[in-house]
């Protein structure tokens, strides 16, 4: 039996931010969400998150996650004090308790498994994750005997110069036999430089405590300031890109590309330079994205090209060509083999197959059938100053250049809209519609002298 306690009550003073540190974003998800997701391969029967500084906000952020209990730490008197808050909630709990700092976002799920396995194999009272860091500044130093039996953890600021030479650090990730921790917690004293109750002090006050080194020290990096947040981002990016390249995706210039770990790519996708893929985005096989594109929460089909464009909350079906300089947003949906480009904006627009809007258009709140051709400069005037209205255009219809389609409006199938028309009334199928003043030619006319 395992329960997990996640420490997320601190302000994170070194971030110099109003936002609680654990809510800072790392590649699309908050630090604390990442910490919680490192539990994904473990069957935990309780998850308790300690909240304090802006606790409501932390609670809101985690609301959609299943099975989380929130425990308030009213005053933040240290990591030991934070864990003391769960004492009444886990009274008599017979299992082990994982304690995770809420600011260690790169931890791999397998590492927690290893921690628990070691803990049980050796029947330890506590097992803590450690790493050898080239630059251990800011971390608690871990002192063990030759058998990895832990004697003491000393915080960086409480270390003597000699102790500081020890590069083995505490990751802030622990597995405790709960009965033993519950007994030791009330005995904590705040006799240190910060006058805080340090969780790390319990290790010198329990039965056998063992340290386990992680292989990849990057997993345990704690985020205390913006610089560490940026390094964590770069580590995360390397992990994500390595994974996609191994899965058959070409990244032409990986350093200039960013990819959230929520994105899914299929084989033979090519990501060109200066391209950013965010949120719940999926890119189908053989598609080519970029250079210079941003795709957010969008589903792109197979063999699509997106060139210098922005696609948000939208879908593009197979073989369509987007850009250069297109903006798709607001739940737009593009059919197969369409062409959208050269300064075209689509908002909440649904297009059938083989429909083109290739130049200088705005299509908002519109439904277009198959094989529609939108002439250069066509605009759906969807907003009357108060409400938004819908435009529908049937299959095979064409709009001439500079058409203004004033919504609400329905244009049938096989309609031709003459260039420069302002259409304000519905047009039946199979028709030519002209709505502009006739050209007048005054032969021999000259300005008066």
Distance in Å, CB of 362 to ligand UD1, minimum: 46
**In the complex with ligand UD1, which residue's Cβ is closer, 100 or 263?**
100
C-beta pairs of 410-413 under 8 Å, 24+ apart in sequence = 413/369
316 to 146, 282, 285, 312, 408: CA distances (angstroms): 60, 10, 13, 11, 25
Exactly one of 122, 167, 331, 359 is catalytic; which is it? Answer: 359
**Using rule CB under 6 A, residue 103 touches ligand UD1:** yes
**Using rule CB under 6 A, residue 169 touches ligand UD1:** yes
Residue 335 binds which of Ca ion, ligand UD1, none (CB < 5-8 A, kind-dependent) = none
- Is there a contact between 199 and 85 (Cβ–Cβ < 8 Å)? no
**Using rule CB under 6 A, residue 357 touches ligand UD1:** no
**In the complex with ligand UD1, which residue's Cβ is closer, 5 or 316?**
5
- Is there a contact between 320 and 302 (Cβ–Cβ < 8 Å)? no
Cα gap 215→410, rounded to integer Å: 64
Q: Tokens 């300005």 belong to which residue?
A: 447
The distance in angstroms from the start CA to the end CA of the chain is: 100
Helix (H, G, I), strand (E, B) or coil at 107: coil
266: which 2 tokens?
Answer: 């299929």
- Is there a contact between 139 and 154 (Cβ–Cβ < 8 Å)? no
**In the complex with ligand UD1, which residue's Cβ is closer, 166 or 256?**
166
Only segment of 96-104, 380-388, 392-400, 416-424 that touches Ca ion (CB under 5 A): 96-104
**Using rule CB under 5 A, residue 196 touches Ca ion:** no
User: Using CB under 6 A, which of 5, 10, 293, 340 touches ligand UD1?
Assistant: 10
Give the up-direction half-sphere exposure of residue 288: CA atoms within 13 A in the CB hemisphere: 10
**Using rule CB under 5 A, residue 33 touches Ca ion:** no
Cα gap 203→137, rounded to integer Å: 21
Consecutive H or E run containing 299: strand 299-300
- Contact string 99-118 vs Ca ion (x = CB under 5 A): ----x---------------
**Using rule CB under 6 A, residue 34 touches ligand UD1:** no
Distance in Å, CB of 15 to ligand UD1, minimum: 10
Catalytic residue check, 359: yes
Neighbours of 99 (CB within 10 A): 25
Distance in Å, CB of 125 to Ca ion, minimum: 24
Residues forming contacts to ligand UD1 in the complex (CB under 6 A) are: 7-10, 22, 50, 52, 73, 76-79, 81-82, 101-104, 139-140, 153, 155, 169-172, 198-200, 222, 224
Q: Where in the sequence numbering do the catalytic residues fall?
A: 359
Residues forming contacts to Ca ion in the complex (CB under 5 A) are: 103, 222, 224
């Amino acid at each position: 039996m395992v329960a997990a306690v996640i420490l997320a009550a601190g302000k994170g003073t070194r971030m110099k931010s109003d936002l609680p540190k654990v809510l800072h974003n790392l590649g699309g998800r908050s630090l604390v969400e990442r910490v919680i997701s490192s539990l994904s391969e473990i069957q935990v029967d309780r998850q308790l998150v300690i909240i304090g500084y802006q606790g409501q906000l932390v609670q809101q952020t985690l609301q959609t996650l299943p099975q989380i209990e929130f425990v308030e730490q009213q005053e933040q008197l240290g990591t030991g004090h934070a864990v003391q808050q769960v004492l009444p909630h886990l009274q008599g709990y017979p299992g082990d308790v994982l304690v995770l700092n809420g600011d260690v976002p790169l931890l791999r799920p397998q590492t927690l498994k290893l921690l628990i396995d070691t803990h049980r194999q050796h029947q330890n009272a506590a097992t803590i994750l450690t790493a050898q860091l080239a630059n251990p500044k800011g971390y608690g130093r871990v002192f063990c005997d030759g058998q990895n039996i832990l004697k003491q953890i000393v915080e960086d600021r409480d270390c003597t110069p000699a102790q500081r030479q020890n590069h083995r650090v505490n990751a802030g990730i622990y597995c405790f036999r709960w009965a033993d921790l519950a007994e030791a917690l009330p005995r904590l004293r705040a006799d240190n430089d910060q006058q805080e109750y340090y969780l790390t002090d319990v290790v010198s006050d329990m039965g056998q405590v063992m340290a386990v080194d992680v292989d990849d020290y990057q997993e345990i990096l704690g985020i205390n300031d913006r610089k560490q947040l940026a390094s964590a981002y770069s580590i995360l990016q390397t992990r994500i890109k390595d994974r996609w390249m191994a899965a058959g995706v070409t990244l032409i210039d990986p350093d200039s590309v960013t990819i959230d770990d929520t994105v899914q790519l299929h084989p033979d996708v090519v990501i060109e330079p200066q391209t950013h893929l965010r949120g719940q985005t999926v890119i189908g096989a053989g598609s080519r994205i970029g250079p210079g594109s941003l795709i957010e929460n969008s589903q792109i089909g197979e063999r699509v090209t997106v060139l210098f464009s922005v696609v948000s909350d939208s879908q593009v079906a197979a073989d369509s060509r987007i850009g250069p300089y297109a903006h798709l947003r607001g739940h737009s949906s593009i059919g197969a083999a369409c062409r959208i480009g050269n300064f075209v904006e689509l908002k909440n627009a649904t297009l059938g197959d083989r429909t083109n809007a290739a130049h200088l258009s705005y299509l908002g709140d519109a439904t277009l059938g198959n094989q529609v051709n939108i002439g250069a400069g066509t605009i759906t005037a969807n907003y009357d100053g108060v409400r938004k209205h819908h435009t529908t255009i049937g299959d095979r219809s064409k709009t001439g250049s500079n058409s203004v389609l004033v919504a609400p409006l329905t244009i049938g199938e096989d309609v031709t809209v003459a260039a420069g028309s302002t259409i304000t009334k519905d047009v039946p199928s199979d028709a030519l519609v002209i709505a502009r003043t006739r050209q007048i030619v005054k032969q021999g006319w000259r300005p008066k002298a």
